Structure 1
Amino acid sequence: MFTGLIQTVGTLQALGSEHLQITCSDSAADLILKDLAIGDSVAIDGVCLTVTEMMISGFIAVVSPETTERTTLSQTTGGIKQVNLETSLRVGSKLGGHFVTGHIDGTGTLKSAVQTASSWEMTFATTSDRVARYILPKGSVAVNGISLTVADCDPAGSWFMVAVIPHTYAETNLCHLKPGNWVNLEGDILGKYVEKFLRSGSPPTVNGLEVTLSPDSINPSFLAEHGYS
């Protein structure tokens, strides 16, 4: 589990078809490598992978063919790719973003990035229904592992706009994106569970009591009553 708050940017280099080498700069190494060990999880551009080997300035992770096919990890420029890095959430840590699982729903592309007085307005598009169905105004979405809030979108969720503060833009690989570049996308896991409850034939329970859910019953009062404030 991750928060979507990126700790640093590293460089990714493919070692064959299944191994990825992640290298951190000297200044960023302490942020990622200080407490990292073999078997730990790291979100690499939002993709949860397991560390299999430690190096002085980085680590190696194994990626399955399915993960490579479904994400952007295989897309490198000259064999090197700048990737966002975040280690897994620890019990007691601050949750400043939203719950990010590292299980990518699909990919999308950057359509435009416009600088305003206070932020960068970045618009993304996706043809993946597994992503679009969870896109809604003021909802959360992870773009290359970065926790962002949807500022605007179309009803189908096939495109959405986020306002990125200058710090996030400069300290992640968003600043390297050009229109047409691909990104990894993950929808909010809370929305996925709500959808599951609505579609399930068995009603969910709260404190052992069945709860009848309908689209109209999922409102701010209901969510606050059950701990989602």
Structure 2
Amino acid sequence: MFTGIIQSFGTMRPLGGDSWQITCSDSCSAIMEDLAYGDSVAVDGVCLTVEDVLKDGFIATASPETLRRTTLGEVLTNGRYVNLEASLRVGSKIGGHFVMGHVDGIGKLICVEQTATSWEMTFNAPSTIDRYIVPKGSIAINGISLTVADYSREISQFKVAVIPVTYAETNLRDLIPGSLVNLEGDILGKYVEKFVYFGKENNSVSQSAQNEITPSFLAENGYL
């Protein structure tokens, strides 16, 4: 589990087979301080397992399935930096939101506009994630915890406002319209969806209750 607060940049290099060497940038003390075999690191929002610790990075496996479902393969083609975050430690601050490192889909940057206080970035949302996007809710973009400023279901697009420090210290600054990004919806939304519709398959909840959450519905299902 992660929190969506990026700690360092990194680069990826293939080693043959499914193995990759991830080299951290100079500011990687938060990543490398106590990194050990078997630890999890989010690489552009993709949870990878450390198989060997190097002086300035680590080795991990990214299977063909992982490359197919995320942008890690595209990263190598373009040679851009990846965002890195070590897994959340018990007792650590949760600066963003709970991020699992399990990418729900690949989005695309539509446009970016610099304002006086932020960069407003608009992305498209594939069908695998758009149902978890709500205005003022959380979303992870390349592993970065961000707040949804606006969302249009009709055109499957959402907007985030990126503050200067986030823009400067993540690879959002490298994106141009058309760039692909890893998207992960808020895990809380996924569990709410599961709980609300759990009776749909066995008909234990009426169709009207499925379509509307009411106090009586919550009481009947143990929420009150």
Asked if Structure 1 and Structure 2 have the same fold, meaning a TM-score greater than 0.5 normalized by the shorter chain, the answer is yes
Q: Distance in 2 between matches of 1:88 and 1:108?
A: 24
Aligned to 2:206: none
Amino acid corresponding to residue 51 of structure 2 in structure 1: T
Q: Distance in 2 between matches of 1:4 and 1:67?
A: 19
1:123-174: per-residue Cα shift (whole Å, max 9, x none)? 0013x21111111111110000000010011025711000000000000000
1:38-66: per-residue Cα shift (whole Å, max 9, x none)? 10000000000000011111111101111
1:179-213: per-residue Cα shift (whole Å, max 9, x none)? 101000000100000111111128xxxxxxxxxx7
Q: Distance in 2 between matches of 1:218 and 1:151?
A: 27
1:76-115 correspondence runs (5 A): 76=75, 80-115=79-114
Q: Distance in 2 between matches of 1:109 and 1:198?
A: 30
Aligned to 2:179: 181
Q: Distance in 1 between matches of 2:68 and 2:187?
A: 22
Name the TM-score, length of structure 2 as normaliser: 0.88
Amino acid corresponding to residue 171 of structure 2 in structure 1: N
Once the two structures are TM-superposed, the CA of residue 81 in structure 1 deviates from its matched residue by 2.9
Aligned to 2:196: 198
Aligned to 2:21: 21
Q: Distance in 2 between matches of 1:116 and 1:185?
A: 24
Q: Distance in 2 between matches of 1:33 and 1:157?
A: 42
Name the TM-score, length of structure 1 as normaliser: 0.86
Aligned to 1:209: none
Change (3 A) 1:186 1:158: same
Check the 8 A contact 1:75/1:81 in 2, yes or no. no
Q: Does 1:57 align with 2:56?
A: yes
Q: Distance in 2 between matches of 1:145 and 1:10?
A: 13
Amino acid corresponding to residue 48 of structure 1 in structure 2: C
Q: Distance in 2 between matches of 1:81 and 1:182?
A: 12
1:140-159 correspondence runs (5 A): 140-156=138-154, 158-159=156-157
User: Percent identity of the aligned residues?
Assistant: 60
Figure out how many residues of one structure are paired with residues of the other and give that number. 214
Residue ranges of structure 1 left out of the alignment (5+ in a row): 203-212
Amino acid corresponding to residue 151 of structure 2 in structure 1: C
C-alpha RMSD of the superposition = 2.5
